[in-house]
Structure 1
Amino acid sequence: AQPSSGEMRFKGGRRELTIRNGSAVLRTNGESFDATDILKDMSAHGVDIGRVSGKTMSEMLKGNKTALPGASGNSVFAIVKGPAGYGLKAFQIAKQIHSAAAQEI
């Protein structure tokens, strides 16, 4: 993140996310998308956006599933492309992994 006059900028792969005054823009391949809903979704999951490191955000921008500071529950997140642009996707992590034999019983 490179804060300059209240602005944070993150890069991951060909994607770049700029956060300014509570709104966000995601740029990729010469196109810009409103990414403010990504911030709202992160906040709804209890994530403190100010505590998300540049490395963590970079991994999310690449589409990698990433744990976020303050997130409620056992979730990891990724920024993914959908029909209406880009959004935040939450993935639940199983609390306990069972062996195949134990599941059959």
Structure 2
Amino acid sequence: MALVLAPKTIFGLLFNAAEVTAGWIRVGGILFTLIGLQYLGTAVGDKQGQGAAGFYRTTVWSRLGLAAAFCLLVALKQSPPGLLVLAGINVVGALAMHTALGGKL
């Protein structure tokens, strides 16, 4: 989450932040944050006895969140418009998983 909120500062602790735009650092931060949320969602689902389905349900929400975040980065001119292609692919993937789960979240 820190990479999303303060990309140049946090990234700059380890790397030359001048070589990479803040938008791309934020893309990484968003991905890392959502992967962490998938772990949490999996743990919650497992505790509720959902098994692997808990993970699959979490990926639906995280992929929709990823698409929304990518659209926001493009709208704020932090990242190039080509990122919208990846956002669209993630929406399609999330909807496909939602359908495969029988429309249950």
Larger helix proportion of the pair: 2
Fold shared per TM-score above 0.5: no
Larger strand proportion of the pair: 1
More contact order relative to length (CA 8 Å, sep ≥ 6): 2
- TM-score normalized with structure 2 length: 0.28
